Chain A
Amino acid sequence: MKILVLNSGSSSVKFQVIETDLDRMKAHQDQTLATGLVEKIGLSDSRLVLKVPNRKAYTDYREILEHRAAIEWVLRILADPEVGILDEVSDVGAVGHRVVHGGEAFASSVLITPEVVQQIEECSVLAPLHNPPNLRGYYAAHAALPDVPHIAVFDTAYHQTMPPHAFLYGIPFQLYTKHALRRYGFHGTSHRYVAFRGSQILGWERQEHKLITVHLGNGCSTAAIDHGKSIDTSMGFTPLEGLLMGTRTGDMDPAVVPWLMAMEEMTLHQVNTMMNKHSGLYGISGVSSDMRELVEARANGHQRADVAFRMFCYRVKKYIGAYAAAMGGVDAVFFTGGIGENSPEVREWALSGLEYMGIEIDRQINDGLHGGEGEISTDGSRVKVLVVPTNEELIIARDVVRVLNDIMPTWEPPETVTP
């Protein structure tokens, strides 16, 4: 079955067409037929890029004012006799949608029904920047492909296995029951794929090992995966918590917020924007949120770029130590995301001094690995360290197959807490 995978942002739609079904999944023969995106939705020079394996990338520009027109454009190009990969639009058998926040309502991927739409809308209060565009993408795709099933795959679902002592904040319990104010974690689909693929490379059963997955992109998070289940992750109620990121603070004493609001007379909006868009690598270095530019700047003696780099790596190291403690050990660390896959400097700094935990990396192999899969630990390293490029779209396509065949696993918490 040809599955259209959509990741709809506020001004972009990323898409992939993946051919898969139960037999292909068992044989690991899922096939990506095309990838692409429409960007600058809402402007007069929106751009569509379509990449098909072994063909030159196709690019087109036109005015696309909203998601519906963007999805229609994508489908038209996918079925175009010259540049497309479908005979006709009806070849699409199902659509998988990335949805950022499923709250406590979704511990699994699901078929989208009006009730599900309603629940996703209710979760928008928890992810006001992400869930609404995800839903706009769904409305648009549903209008264009009303006769096929649409499945929602949530970033938060995989971390629903966190136990209460990991997902609760130390605030009055009533605030949790009233507002569902708790830690959710994000990048779940990525952590799930990387845990699966890393274990597969090592020839391991995921359910038998203690893994730490480290997703370092523009947003960064790490997860402790104990015998196949996420028992903790660094992002929390929002994607702001945890590691230092491109423009986000990561962990910070929450008392800073009221202090700034009082002393700098900052508004809620200003504090929120400051923490999400003006901080992190960019805020510290004053140079860039892009790790490549930071590495170059610190090589040229830029002190603030250097300290931003060190802060970034130090936080990763702290979380690896914390999660090894949480699981009572660690068997493997898997790096992914733009920085995790492409920055040997970050991997080396983040893991330096952890030899006592059994983590030893081969510097030569590490230095040579920019993108692509590979093991970077030494032969003698007790803990395996791998670089695993993420593939969230594959997980989404496979979940579509699982939901349609009623074999979708759910990730319920190990215990519940009642008031």
Chain B
Amino acid sequence: MISILNQSRRRLTCLLHSRAMSWELHNVAIIGGGMMGRSIATKVAQEGLNVCLKEISNEAVEASRAELEASLDHSVARYDLTNSEKKAILSRIRWVTQFDCAADCDIAIETVQEDFGVKRRILRELDRRMVEDHPIVINTSTLSITELAAQNSCPERIVGMHFLYPVTTTRVVEVVRGQLTTDEVYTRAVEFARILGKVPIKVFEMPGFVTTRVIMPLINEAMHTVMEGVAEAAEVDLAIKLGFNFTMGPLEWADRTGLDRVLNWMQHMHSESGEPRFRPCPMLKRLVRAGLHGAKTGQGFFTYDANRRRTDRLPDDKPRLG
């Protein structure tokens, strides 16, 4: 009996060692309580980690908190969560207006708008406060991690993670290595993705990475198809949705993401790469200039009610069995 136990124990120790995480992860700082910041915060808290969510003012905190609660209520109504899970998520999120909270955090994620200058200022604030080897994550789909990291005292701890909205249900996250990102920091970012139940896609730094680079030309082409009069927007979307088993068509996806954001990404990718396939369709520009930003404004390619439900579906655009 004793010898069996000793033998078992030796092999088990190796097993346990190989499973050990390389750093302790309990507290996560999230900078920015917008749509993406709230969605990441929800997922992180759902996995049992503590979140410190920074907004710019008390008013912004209140607005963001109200949006988060409404979105959790919606998840409960859709059977994604229970009421007690909602309470547990809220209990793990601490709202702040200062960067100081990052000092106690094991990882920080900035989730502010896709603006180089704003992101760079935030990185400096985090860099100044956080323990030296704790990763700082840039959530971006088009900006250069290397360039953003370059002016920080520890550029090697800066890594990119491109979360896709809604973070609570989308299974994938792109983990982006900058030129100076160390192996250790990159591994931690991959581990973090796994803790969140995500499949990490390892990508190198190129504008758009994989997901944005592939989806943008599809959306752009759908817009051109409408603009050139090949088919109505609803017909284009339905053809792609039913033809390729997508959950929604590319134009509805763009509406739900926000046409202003889509335009911003395309402009970045176009200016970075110079590739004509990323040149935004004039129709997209026209809609954005008119303030028709999609589901959030009630009108984009399609119309939406106050709960962001589409109101103009074609009769054939409905679920059916088989």
Contacts and interface: CB of A to CB of B under 8 A. Distances in A.
Contact of A111 (B4, B15, B79, B319): B4
Interface string B147-171: 0000000000000000000000100
B321 interface: yes
Given A117-B12, A265-B319, A267-B169, A273 B1 contact: no
B267 to A, nearest CB: 33
A274 B79 contact: yes
B4 A113 contact: yes
Nearest to A143: B16
Nearest to A45: B91
Contacts of A247: 82
Interface residues of B, number: 23
A355 B201 CA distance: 64
Interface string B1-33: 100110011011001100000000010000000
Interface string A270-303: 1101100110000000000000000000000000
Contacts of B319: 262-265
Given A263-B319, A273-B79, A278-B82, A114 B26 contact: no
B11 A114 contact: yes
A130 interface: no
Contact of B12 (A142, A149, A262): A142
Contacts of A269: 80, 169
Contacts of A271: 79
B78 interface: yes
A42 interface: yes
B16 A270 contact: no
Given A11-B48, A270-B80, A273-B79, A262 B169 contact: no
Interface string B164-206: 0000010000000000000000000000000000000000000
A266 interface: yes
Secondary structure at the B interface, as helix, strand, loop or mixed, is: loop
B286 interface: no
Interface string A325-353: 00000000000000000000000000000
Interface in B73-129: 78-82, 91-92
A53 interface: no
30 contacts: A11-B48, A43-B92, A44-B50, A111-B8, A112-B8, A113-B4, A113-B8, A114-B15, A117-B15, A139-B16, A142-B16, A143-B16, A146-B9, A149-B1, A149-B5, A247-B82, A259-B321, A262-B319, A263-B321, A264-B319, A266-B79, A269-B80, A269-B169, A270-B78, A273-B79, A273-B80, A273-B81, A277-B82, A278-B79, A278-B82
Given A117-B15, A262-B319, A278-B79, 18 more contacts: A42-B48, A43-B91, A111-B4, A113-B4, A114-B12, A114-B15, A142-B12, A143-B16, A146-B9, A149-B5, A262-B321, A263-B319, A264-B319, A266-B79, A267-B169, A269-B169, A273-B79, A277-B79
Interface of B: 1, 4-5, 8-9, 11-12, 15-16, 26, 48, 50, 78-82, 91-92, 169, 319-321
6 cross-chain pairs, A with B, having the tightest CB-CB distances, nearest first? A274-B79, A113-B8, A114-B11, A262-B319, A42-B48, A270-B79
